[in-house]
Amino acid sequence: MATSAADEPTIGDLGEFGLIDQLRGQIGDNRQILLGPGDDAAHVSTKDGSFLVSTDLLIEGRHFRRDWSSAHDIGRKAAACNLSDINAMGGVATALTVGFGAPGDLPASWALEMTRGFEVECAHVGANIVGGDVTASDKIVIAVTAMGDVARPVLRSGALPGDVVAYAGQLGLAGAGFAALSRGFRSPKAAVDAHRVPHPPYAAGPQAAGAGATAMTDISDGLLADLGHIAEASGVAIDLDSTTFVVPEAVATVSEALGADPMAFMLTGGDDYALVATFSSQATLPEGWTRIGRVADGRGLTVDGSAYEGPAGHQHYR
Q: Does 131 bind a copy of itself (CB under 8 A)?
A: yes
Nearer to a copy of itself, 8 or 309 (CB): 8
Q: Does 157 bind a copy of itself (CB under 8 A)?
A: no
Q: Longest C-alpha distance within the chain, in Å?
A: 58
Q: How many chain residues touch a copy of itself (CB under 8 A)?
A: 88
Q: Does 124 bind a copy of itself (CB under 8 A)?
A: no
Tell whether omega for the bond before 201 is within 30 degrees of 0, i.e. cis: no
Per-residue interface string for the shown chain with a copy of itself, residues 95-114, x marking contact by CB under 8 A: x-xxxxxxxxxxxxx-xx--
136: Cβ contacts below 8 Å, ≥ 6 apart:
101, 102, 103, 104
Positive or negative, the CA dihedral 94, 21, 275, 248 is positive
Applying the rule CB under 8 A, the residues between 29 and 58 that interact with a copy of itself are 29-30, 32-33, 36-37, 41-42, 44-51, 53-58
How many alpha carbons lie under 13 Å from residue 43 in its C-beta half-sphere? 18
Nearer to a copy of itself, 37 or 298 (CB): 37
Q: How far is the CB of 256 from a copy of itself (least distance, A)?
A: 32
| Inter-residue contact 255 to 261 (CB < 8 Å) | yes
Nearer to a copy of itself, 55 or 280 (CB): 55
Q: How far is the CB of 287 from a copy of itself (least distance, A)?
A: 25
- Rounded-to-integer distance, Cα 117 and Cα 123, Å: 10
Interacting stretch for a copy of itself, rule CB under 8 A, among 19-27, 204-212, 258-266, 279-287? Answer: 19-27
- Rounded-to-integer distance, Cα 317 and Cα 294, Å: 32
